[in-house]
Structure 1
């Protein structure tokens, strides 16, 4: 097996906590460099910009972009134009149009573009999808509540336009939803709560329909104590409950999966990226981001208390 030299572009919390360990366990990849204005990793060549990486380390053939979404487009274009294959952290971009442009550029340059949705690789997602495929969903609910101070400490970009606010974790729930539903869903209404001093929402309540079945969604960035990442679906053959972000699933009283949130999700991402590279195929599913865009289009803007970290 030819080992792929990959660089991490953006070396913040998600890169250190998730990408580095999964690359380290992968037989397909070698972490050959980092690109960051701030972070470095001992024993790994570091660059302050992508141009330096491209000039100094031609052995690097792929990059994983772990920067905030607002700056990812320009970096992805630069990498694709330089002949590199590109993995995009979620969300793949700040707008739908810019990701469509990257899809076209990757196709024209013969490069692999992979837009990742890490929650789809949670242990219980395949079993959930298979179980729901054979049943009629009557209604569903999603509760995705977490503490922004715990998961995004000091990350002011998440409160700036394009940073998505509560939709940064909420899009994880939407990525699971769009993967497991037997029929597609569309948004019918939304309430978005914006702190009076921020540009993105801290909470959101969404209503969807999927094949006539209502699905109610509750996102909140203010949850202290235990975190909640759960889904429930009532069907014609019992209730399915998904917990721990998709790791733990029970259906009609029987366990389909047990595990921990985030465990092995990024291992799955890099295994999938290796397969895409071997087959020279791109994979970019925009459906979770479309739902977020729809929420901003349809949503009622409600002003709430200022957010102060």
Structure 2
């Protein structure tokens, strides 16, 4: 059974990842786009979601819009009985996540909150290797250049845009996948440019399940080599996930080194959920971010300009 899907928000992530993933998957057909500014050649286009829900084809909805507007769109689509797939981060607040879950249950619709970095090739293997081993500590180093990876995306630096936690939540999604359980924020320092509403750097101290320490170091102004690494010290050796989870090494010996295939895996999972009439919503990475903002110490840095 081919699942018709409408893509809402035709920006960078939609063009780079969603459109190619849908096109390559015989289980899906892109039947509509919804955007004020973008479109996909040969696909019917709608200027807003209300018009699509009223006059467009019956289709699942994949939301690629910023989190500040995503929840209202998701609630409208769910109320119309549409299955919904959400880009990360799931929403701007935990309350919004709860509202969407309730709406999906009431409508009998599928709701899939995606975390694309969990689909990186090394993540499942890392989780399997860590299972049953004693964890001594973990360290996350996630440093990249915002000007390179998010050009012109000013919404990320506004309220509900997450700032450095937009990429940082990818690391947290991996952390909570390979070391499942309650992660408790003990302290945080958030660095805000004096002219922006979201941080460009953050250091967060956590306690993982069972009490082991976790350090998180995020930077959005990294020059030179980019870093997307998670290291876990255990009683059986040191595990390192690098390149955003694409590579896995244990005690320096590489176990997994594959090209990324995250979004095709997300759409396969969405198809499984739709066919089973189930939902998959995990807010644990978002909860860590929310707690860091709640208790974090704020530092002011020099102005940021694109």
Shorter-chain TM-score tier: over 0.9
* CA deviation after TM superposition for structure 1 residue 81, in Å: 1.0
2:21 aligns with 22
1:113-132 correspondence to structure 2 within 5 Å: 113-132=111-130
Q: Distance in 2 between matches of 1:108 and 1:222?
A: 43
Give structure 2 stretches of 5+ with no counterpart: none
* CA deviation after TM superposition for structure 1 residue 134, in Å: 2.7
Cα RMSD of the aligned pairs, angstroms, is 1.0
Question: TM-score, normalized by length of structure 2?
Answer: 0.98
1:78-97 correspondence to structure 2 within 5 Å: 78-97=76-95
- With 208-217 and 84-93 compared, the bigger mean Cα shift is at 208-217
**Which of residues 137, 140, 147 in structure 2 aligns to 1:139?**
137
Q: Distance in 2 between matches of 1:266 and 1:185?
A: 26
Q: Distance in 2 between matches of 1:298 and 1:86?
A: 32
The answer as to whether partners of 1:230 and 1:245 remain within 8 angstroms in 2 is yes
* CA deviation after TM superposition for structure 1 residue 182, in Å: 5.0
Give structure 1 stretches of 5+ with no counterpart: none
1:274 aligns with 271
2:74 aligns with 76
The answer as to whether partners of 1:90 and 1:115 remain within 8 angstroms in 2 is yes
2:284 aligns with 287
1:180 aligns with 178
The answer as to whether partners of 1:133 and 1:182 remain within 8 angstroms in 2 is no
Q: Distance in 2 between matches of 1:183 and 1:46?
A: 42
- With 299-308 and 45-54 compared, the bigger mean Cα shift is at 45-54
| Distance change (3 Å), C-alpha of 1:237 and 1:131 | same
SS of 1:219 mapped into structure 2: strand
Q: Distance in 2 between matches of 1:132 and 1:182?
A: 10
Q: Distance in 2 between matches of 1:253 and 1:295?
A: 32
CA deviations 1:34-90 (Å, max 9, x no partner) are 1000011111111100122122223x3201000000001111111111111100000
Q: Distance in 1 between matches of 2:201 and 2:252?
A: 31
1:231 aligns with 2:243: no
SS of 1:303 mapped into structure 2: strand
The answer as to whether partners of 1:35 and 1:46 remain within 8 angstroms in 2 is yes
SS of 1:27 mapped into structure 2: coil
1:259 aligns with 258
SS of 1:143 mapped into structure 2: strand
1:302 aligns with 2:299: yes
Q: Distance in 1 between matches of 2:246 and 2:13?
A: 19
CA deviations 1:137-167 (Å, max 9, x no partner) are 1111110001111111111100110000000
Q: Distance in 1 between matches of 2:149 and 2:291?
A: 25
The answer as to whether partners of 1:132 and 1:182 remain within 8 angstroms in 2 is no
The answer as to whether partners of 1:61 and 1:83 remain within 8 angstroms in 2 is no
Question: TM-score, normalized by length of structure 1?
Answer: 0.97
After TM superposition, what 4+ stretches of structure 1 lie above 4 angstroms from structure 2?
none
Q: Distance in 2 between matches of 1:69 and 1:183?
A: 25
* CA deviation after TM superposition for structure 1 residue 135, in Å: 1.3
* CA deviation after TM superposition for structure 1 residue 227, in Å: 1.2
CA deviations 1:222-242 (Å, max 9, x no partner) are 012221100111111111111
1:240 aligns with 2:254: no
Q: Distance in 2 between matches of 1:233 and 1:183?
A: 15
CA deviations 1:230-268 (Å, max 9, x no partner) are 0111111111111000010011233221024xx110011
The answer as to whether partners of 2:31 and 2:59 remain within 8 angstroms in 1 is no
